[in-house]
Chains A and B, each alone.
Chain A
C-alpha cells in the first residue's frame, strides 16, 4: 500500500493564482481531512469528508474548496491564493468510527509559498 500520497511536494504561487493540491489514499478509508501547519499554530483542520459526496468545513475553511467524488481522492482547491495561505498542507485519512481503528494516517505534505 502506498498509504496517503500528496502532490506536489512544493509549490510557489503568485497572489491571485488558483491551484489544486492532490491527495489520494489506497486504504479504503472513509474519512479524509485537510490540515495546514504553521509555526506556533499546530495543525488546523481546513475541510474534511466522511465519505464520497460528503464534505464539511473545519476550523479554517475560508479561501479553500474541496470535493469528494471517489473514496480514494480528496483534492483541495485554492480559489485565489493569498500570502496568508503560505503554509505546509497535510492530507490525512482514517476509518470511520466502528469500521476499524480511528487513528489518522498523514501524507508527506505540500509546502506552499504565496508571493
Chain B
C-alpha cells in the first residue's frame, strides 16, 4: 500500500534552534515529492518539489532533501513566523492516474 509517514507529529523549538522534519514514503512509481506549508485556517501553500534522490532545494531558512525512501525538511535558525504545519506529499501513478498521497503533517512551533 502506498504510504507517506511524517515525523515527529509536533515539534517545539526555540528561535534560532535548527532541526529537521522527516517524511518517509513507500510508493511505487514515484513522480515527485512535494513539501507544503499550512497556516491555521488556510489552504496548503507550495514550498518545494523534489524529483530524484540526491536532489536538494532551498528557500530562505528551509532546505529540502530527498533519498530513495525519505525526505528531510531542514530548518536553519528558525523564526516565530516559521510556525506552521508542514505537509509532505508524494505524487505517484496509482490505478492508472497521477495522484498525490499526503502525510499527516508536522506541527512546528517556534518560541521567541
Contact = CB atoms under 8 A, between A and B. Distances in A.
Interface residues of A, number: 26
Interface in B15-62: 31-32, 34, 36, 41-46, 49
Interface string A19-44: 00000000000010101000011111
A114 interface: no
Interface centre among B31, B43, B99 (most CB of A within 10 A): B43
A33 B44 CA distance: 14
Given A102-B32, A103-B49, A108 B43 contact: yes
B45 to A, nearest CB: 7
SS of B interface (majority): strand
29 contacts: A31-B98, A35-B102, A40-B104, A41-B104, A42-B103, A42-B104, A43-B44, A43-B89, A43-B102, A45-B99, A45-B100, A48-B97, A48-B99, A50-B97, A90-B43, A92-B43, A97-B31, A97-B98, A102-B32, A103-B34, A104-B46, A104-B100, A105-B46, A106-B43, A106-B44, A108-B42, A108-B43, A109-B41, A109-B42
Interface of B: 31-32, 34, 36, 41-46, 49, 87, 89, 91, 97-100, 102-105
